[in-house]
Amino acid sequence: MTSPDVELVRAVSEAGLRFFGVMSASVSHEIRNKLAVINEKAGLVEDIAVAMRSGRAPDPDRLEMQAQRIVDQIRQANRIVRALNRLAHSTDEADATVDVAELVALVVELYGRKAAMAQMVIEAEAPTGEIEVRTNPFLLANAIGLCLDSAMANAGGSRALRVIAEGDGDGVSIRIRGLEGDVDSGGGPATDRAGLGSLLETLGSDLAVDRESGDLVLSIRNLKPRENGSQP
C-alpha cells in the first residue's frame, strides 16, 4: 500500500469508529431513558398495590393503563436496539448490493434523537421502486450520517429536512431537501469534513449542492471490483 492509501484507510477507519461511537452513545442514552420510564412505571404500580393493601379501592383500569405504557416503552426500546443492530451488521460485508432507501431510513432513524436535540425533524421519503447500489454498506451509512450532520449545521432557519434516494445512471443519488440560506457542502466540524472527504473518495462518491433546488446531493457510483479482488 502506498503512503496516500495508508492515510486514506486510516482516515476512513477513524471516521467509522467515531460514527459508530456517536451512534452507540445516542442509542444507549435513549435506552436508558426508556429504562428510566419503565423503572418509574413499575414503581408506580408498586405504590398503587401498597395503597390498595392499605384500603384504597382497586382501580384495574389504571393498572392496565400503566402496564400498557410499560409495553409501549419496551417496544420503543426494542426498535432502537434493532436499528443499532442493523447498523452493526452493515459491517458484515465490505461489498454488497445495498437497498439505498432502506439504509437511508435506518440512518434517519438513528439520527432521530440528534435531530430532536437540535430542535429539528428529519424524515426519509420513500422512493418509487427499488434503488440499489453495489458498495460498502457501513461506509455508505457513515457518509449519509456525515451528510446529515453537514445539512443540520447548514440548515439556516429550516427545522425540517427530508432525505430522498433516487436512481442516477450508474449509481444512486441521495438528496437532502429543506435547507435554507447558503448551503455549504463541506460544513460541520473539521474532523467530520476530513472524514467525509475520505469516505467520498473511498466510495467513489461526490457531494454537491444542486444550485437550482438548494438540495445537498450525495452521488454514489457502483463499486468496481479491484484487480487483486480486495474491496474498500
Size of the site for another protein (CB under 8 A): 22
Strands 121-125 and 160-167: parallel
CB-nearer residue toward another protein: 40 or 184 = 40
From 115-123, 124-132, 145-153, 204-212, give the range in contact with another protein by CB under 8 A: 115-123
Estimate the crossing angle of helix 3-53 against helix 137-153, to 10 degrees.
80
Phi and psi at residue 60, in whole multiples of 5°? -60, -30
Candidate list 8, 73, 172, 223; residue touching another protein; CB under 8 A: 73
Q: Tell me the H-state helices in the chain.
A: 3-53, 60-89, 100-110, 112-117, 137-153, 190-203
SS3 letters for 164-193? EEEECCCEEEEEEECCCCCCCCCCCCHHHH
Q: Which is nearer to another protein, 114 or 193 (CB)?
A: 114
Q: Tell me the C-alpha distance between 175 and 145, whole Å.
A: 13
Query: Contacting another protein (CB under 8 A), which of 17, 52, 116, 208?
Result: 116
Secondary structure class of 132 (helix, strand, coil): strand
Which residue of 118, 123, 125, 134 would you call a contact of another protein, by CB under 8 A?
118
Interstrand relation of 96-99 and 216-221 (parallel, antiparallel or unpaired): unpaired
Task: Name the segment binding another protein (CB under 8 A); options: 7-15, 40-48, 190-198, 202-210.
Answer: 40-48
CB of 29 to another protein, least distance (A): 5
Q: Taking CB under 8 A as the rule, does residue 126 contact another protein? A: no
The distance of closest approach from Cβ of residue 134 to another protein in the complex, given in angstroms and rounded to an integer, is: 38
Q: Which of 10, 32, 75, 226 binds another protein (CB under 8 A)?
A: 32
- Please pick, from the candidates 7, 40, 184, 210, the single residue that binds another protein as defined by CB under 8 A: 40
Interaction mask 51-70, another protein, x per CB under 8 A: x-----------------x-
Using an 8 Å Cβ cutoff, are 161 and 122 in contact?
Answer: yes
CA separation (Å) from 88 to 16, 71, 76, 104, 171? Answer: 11, 26, 19, 15, 24
Q: Which residues bind another protein (CB under 8 A)?
A: 25, 29-30, 32-33, 35-41, 43-44, 47, 51, 69, 73, 116-119
